[in-house]
C-alpha cells in the first residue's frame, strides 16, 4: 500500500485541505502567513513511491458482504474481485481523514524538530549542481494495473493490481485501447515486458549530494540509486567517506514511478505506472553516475545534454468539466450570512462556525490567495492569524441544488493554542 502524495483527504472531499506535509510545516514556522514568510519549512518527498501513511492497512468497505471489514486481498488489493471497495485506513480512521492528517503531520513535525534541535554537522565547501535533458530508452506507456489504482485511491471497473503479461487481458479494454491510442509496436512490448501495455502516453555541500529526481522512486529503488551514487562519488573523490546522498523528488518534471526490476515484474500499481519500461532504474543510475565527474572541484565544462523537450502546454487537454452554473437563492446574494457565529464567549477547543450563500470554489482557485482568513483586532488594526491552509480551519462547500445552481459554504475554526496539534 502506498501514500498518494502524502495526502489523507479522500478524492471526493469538498473541503480545500492541507496535506500532512503542510501540517508538518505550520508548527515549525508558526508565525508566518502567506505573503509574510521569512523562513520556509519544506517537508519534501524522497523515495516514497510505494509507502503509505494509511498505517492501519487496507480493508474492505463492502456493506452487506461477508468480507466487509476484512483486510483486502494482499496481492491485488481487491474485495470480492474488484478494487473499488478496498480502502486504506489512517491512524485517525475512526474519527476522520483530517484526524489522520493531524496525527501523521504531528509525528513528522516532532521528528523534524528533534533533528533541528539535535547535533548538526555544518556543510563545508561549494554548492554545485548538474542538470541535463535525456531521451528515455522506452517510450512512455502505462500498464493495466495503473488503472487499478491503490488502496489509497482505488481505480474502477475490473482493473486490479498484479496484472502482468502472464495473464490474458479483457478483450473489451483491448478494443478501447486500440480505438483511443496507437497499438504498441513489438519493440515497445518487448521494452516494457512483463507489463501488459494499457495506455500509450506519447500523444551538493562537500558531505551531501541531493538528487533532484523527476519521478517517484519506490523505497528499494531509492536505496539502490543512493547506494550506487554514493559509491561512485566516494571512489571518484567528489565526496568523502562520510558522505550523505538524499533524494528530492519529483523534481523539475514528473516521469511517473521508478521501481526495481523485481517490483516491476509483479506489476502492482508502481510497476504499471513505470512508463519507461523495466530498466528505468538502471538507466537512471547509469545517467546520474555519468554526471558525477562534473561535481568535482576541478571540473570544467558541462555534461552533454539532449535537446530540451518541446513545450506542449498549449496542446494540453483537461477532462475536468467547467462550472456550469452558480446562483444565489431568491432573496439572497452571494456572500450573505445564513448562520452566524454565536455571540457568547468562546474558549479553547471550542469551534467557531458560520454558513454563507456560496458558489463553487472552482470558479476562482484563489491561487496565491485564500478562501478564508481568521483576523484578530489588535490596536485598532485587523491582523490575519489563520487562513484556509491551517489545520484548525475548515472550508466546506456543499451544492444545494444542481438545477438552481445554489450552494452553501460553511467555515469553521477550532480555537487552539498556536503550537497545538
Active site residues: 52
Number of other residues whose CB lies within 10 A of the CB of residue 4? 18
Cell numbers found for residue 241? 567517506
Q: What are the grid coordinates assigned to 378, written together? A: 489588535
Do the Cβ atoms of 110 and 27 come closer than 8 Å? no
CA distances from 370 to 5, 34, 84, 388, 410 (A): 22, 9, 34, 6, 15
Tell me the C-alpha distance between 44 and 33, whole Å.
Answer: 19
d(CA 14, CA 21): 20
Q: Which of 83, 76, 81, 77 is nearest to 162 (CA)?
A: 76
* Secondary structure of residue 105 in the 3-state scheme: helix
- Contact between residue 323 and residue 362 where contact means Cβ atoms under 8 Å apart: yes
What is the Cα–Cα distance from 387 to 32, expressed in whole angstroms?
Answer: 11
Residue 14 in 3-state DSSP?
A: coil
Which phi and psi (to 5°) does residue 88 adopt? -75, 150
Query: Which residue in this structure is represented by grid cell 456543499?
Result: 398
DSSP string, 30-84: TT-BTTB-S--------S-TT--S-TTEEEE--TTSTTTTSBPPTTT--BTTBST
Backbone phi, psi, residue 392, to 5°? -85, -5
Other C-beta atoms within 10 Å of 312: how many?
Answer: 8
* Separation in Å, CA 2 to CA 55, 104, 153, 252, 383: 9, 14, 9, 22, 40
Amino acid at each position: 500500500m502506498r501514500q498518494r502524495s502524502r495526502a489523507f483527504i479522500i478524492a471526493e472531499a469538498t473541503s480545500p485541505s492541507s496535506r500532512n506535509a503542510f501540517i508538518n510545516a505550520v508548527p515549525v514556522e508558526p508565525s508566518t502567513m502567506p505573503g509574510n514568510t521569512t523562513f520556509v519549512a519544506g517537508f519534501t518527498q524522497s523515495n516514497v513511491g510505494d509507502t503509505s501513511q494509511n498505517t492501519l492497512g487496507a480493508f474492505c468497505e463492502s456493506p452487506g458482504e461477508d468480507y466487509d471489514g476484512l483486510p483486502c486481498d494482499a496481492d491485488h488489493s481487491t474485495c470480492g474481485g474488484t478494487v473499488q471497495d478496498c480502502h486504506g485506513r489512517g491512524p485517525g480512521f475512526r474519527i476522520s481523514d483530517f484526524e489522520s492528517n493531524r496525527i501523521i503531520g504531528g509525528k513528522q513535525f516532532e521528528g523534524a524538530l528533534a533533528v533541528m534541535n539535535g547535533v548538526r554537522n555544518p556543510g563545508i565547501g561549494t554548492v554545485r549542481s548538474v542538470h541535463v535533458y535525456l531521451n528515455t530508452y522506452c517510450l512512455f506507456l502505462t500498464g493495466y494495473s495503473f488503472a487499478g489504482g491503490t488502496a489509497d485511491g482505488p481505480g474502477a471497473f475490473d482493473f486490479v493490481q498484479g496484472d502482468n503479461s502472464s495473464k490474458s487481458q479483457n478483450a473489451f479494454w483491448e478494443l478501447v485501447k486500440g480505438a483511443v491510442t496507437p497499438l504498441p509496436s513489438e519493440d515497445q512490448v518487448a521494452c516494457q515486458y512483463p507489463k501488459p501495455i494499457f495506455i500509450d502516453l506519447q500523444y551538493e555541500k562537500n558531505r551531501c549530494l541531493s538528487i533532484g529526481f523527476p519521478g517517484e522512486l519506490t523505497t528499494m529503488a531509492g536505496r539502490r540509486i543512493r547506494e550506487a551514487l554514493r559509491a561512485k562519488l566516494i571512489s571518484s573523490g567528489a565526496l568523502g567517506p562520510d558522505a550523505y546522498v538524499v533524494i528530492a523528488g519529483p523534481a523539475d518534471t514528473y516521469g511517473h514511478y521508478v521501481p526495481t526490476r523485481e517490483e516491476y515484474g509483479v506489476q502492482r500499481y508502481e510497476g504499471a505506472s513505470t512508463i519507461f519500461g523495466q530498466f528505468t532504474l538502471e538507466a537512471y543510475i547509469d545517467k546520474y553516475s555519468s554526471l558525477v565527474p562534473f561535481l568535482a572541484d576541478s571540473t570544467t565544462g558541462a555534461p552533454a545534454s539532449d535537446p530540451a523537450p518541446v513545450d506542449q502546454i498549449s496542446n494540453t487537454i483537461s477532462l475536468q468539466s467547467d462550472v456550469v452554473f452558480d446562483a444565489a437563492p431568491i432573496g439572497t446574494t452571494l456572500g450573505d450570512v445564513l448562520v452566524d457565529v454565536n455571540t457568547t464567549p468562546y474558549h479553547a477547543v471550542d469551534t467557531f462556525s458560520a454558513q454563507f450563500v456560496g458558489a463553487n470554489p472552482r470558479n476562482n482557485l484563489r491561487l496565491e490567495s485564500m478562501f478564508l482568513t481568521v483576523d484578530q483586532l489588535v490596536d485598532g488594526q485587523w491582523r490575519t492569524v489563520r487562513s484556509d491552509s491551517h489545520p484548525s480551519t475548515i472550508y466546506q462547500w456543499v451544492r444545494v441544488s444542481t438545477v438552481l445552481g445554489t450552494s452553501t459554504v460553511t467555515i469553521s475554526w477550532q480555537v487552539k493554542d498556536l503550537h497545538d496539534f
